[in-house]
Each structure stands twice: as C-alpha cells, then as structure tokens.
Amino acid sequence: MSSTTVELTKENFDQTVTDNGFVLIDFWASWCGPCKQFAPVYEKAAEANPDLVFGKIDTEAQPELASAFGIQSIPTLMIVRDQVAVFAQPGALPQEALDDVIGQARKLDMDEVRKSIAEQQAKAGEDGAGGAGGADSAQA
C-alpha cells in the first residue's frame, strides 16, 4: 500500500464507505499478474485525485468482503458513491479508461441514481423477485 491508498478490511470497510462520499475499490491478490500490472495505474489515479478515497481489498486476506460483493475475477474495480455501488468491472483498466470512469462517476447525479434504484426495487417487488440479497445480508 502507498500513502495514497487505504487497505480496506471487514473491520474498516463500512466506516470508510460511510465517512466518504466517493470510494474507489481495487479487489486484488498478490499472486495475480494483471493485478500487479493495474497497481501503478491505480496509484497514479489516486495521486491525481487526492479528494477521493482509493481503497484496496486483498481478496486472499478479506474473503468475506470479496464474497459479499460477488467478486469472481480480479482485478475488479468498484466505485461507491454515497454508499451506492455505481460501477463494478473486472479487468485491469488502462490509465485513460480509469480516468474516464472516474470522470463519469464524478458527474453522476446521485439523486437520479437513487431514484432509479428505488424504481428498480419497486419493479422487482411487483414481479415477486424479492428476497434477502445484497452485501448487507452476506456480512456476519
């Protein structure tokens, strides 16, 4: 970890996401070649965006967090704004793509995002597709 990134664990994850309106999360593992290739790109983005929180989750050390978010391949980048996951994509992004994703996430109207989520949840409820899902139900 560098001084620009934060190691996220099951102990500090909720607090980090609650206290910060914009958190980027890199799910990685030490044995993962593409993760090692993505690390300097992620660090450079962290240095260029000091107003955002750049977190890293070692999927080997934090299997509960990886499982809670359904991470099946690494590296996976996730962006959480106002406690809502607004982006998740596996694969090592090149610098330009990462910069573009950050820019798009910055421009999101979170009121519109929450409204859209509420509408989707209401529709899912009408379709009988309810149930206990989501990251909260996976945490012990």
Predicted TM-score (pTM) of this structure: 0.84
Tens-digit pLDDT profile for residues 26-52 = 999 999 999 999 999 999 999 999 999
Alpha-carbon span 32 to 40, nearest angstrom: 14
Residue 107 has a CB neighbour count (10 Å cut-off) of 7
The enclosing H or E element of 7 equals: strand 5-7
Q: Spot the catalytic one: 32, 39, 74, 101.
A: 32
Q: Spot the catalytic one: 6, 35, 52, 68.
A: 35
* 79 flagged as catalytic: no
pLDDT of 122 reads: 92
Tell whether the model's pLDDT for residue 11 goes beyond 60: yes
